[in-house]
Amino acid sequence: MQPIISVITLAVDDLVQATKFYHQGLGLPTKGVVGEPEQDTQVAFFKLNNNLKLALWPRESLQRQTSCAVTGHGVLISHNVVSREAAEQLLRKAAAAGAVVNKAAHEQPWGCFGGYFTDPEGYLWEVTFNPDLVSKD
């Protein structure tokens, strides 16, 4: 399986202020804050290189979505896969290798399908199938 790391998410305490910093302070392009806070989908995306994105997600919302405590400098790395089955398979494979599955694969409110695990060193990962990223070829 070809790894496709597409999003690195930083947990933030003040989404508006953090978005302003990364956009104005670092010059990263963004459409600003999108999503609904009531559904824990509020986030800001910044386009980086080679289809890689940086996301800023409110810490409390990220904790609710992942069912995992996000302390300190919270980081979530997203690994995109080609199907729902591939997401479930990779979560099982990670668990067999020592990861803790925090939340099994499920339909996510933003239209993707995926789950979350913590690796043996404590880093939080998302395994996700995003139908909008699958090649139409």
pLDDT at 87 over 80: yes
In CATH terms, the superfamily for domain 4-133 is 2,3-Dihydroxybiphenyl 1,2-Dioxygenase, domain 1 (3.10.180.10)
Give 44-70 pLDDT, tens digit per residue. 999 998 889 999 999 999 999 888 888
Residue 1 banded pLDDT, cuts 50, 70, 90:
low
The SS3 assignment for 42 reads coil
Residue 101 banded pLDDT, cuts 50, 70, 90:
very high
Please state the pTM of the whole predicted model: 0.69
Residue 132: predicted pLDDT: 83
pLDDT at 86 over 90: yes
Is 35:42 a contact under the CB 8 Å cutoff?
A: yes
Is 59:10 a contact under the CB 8 Å cutoff?
A: no
Where do the domains of the chain lie? 4-133
Pairing of strands 53-58, 75-81: unpaired
- Tokens describing residue 113: 């399908």
Task: Tell me the C-alpha distance between 54 and 57, whole Å.
Answer: 10
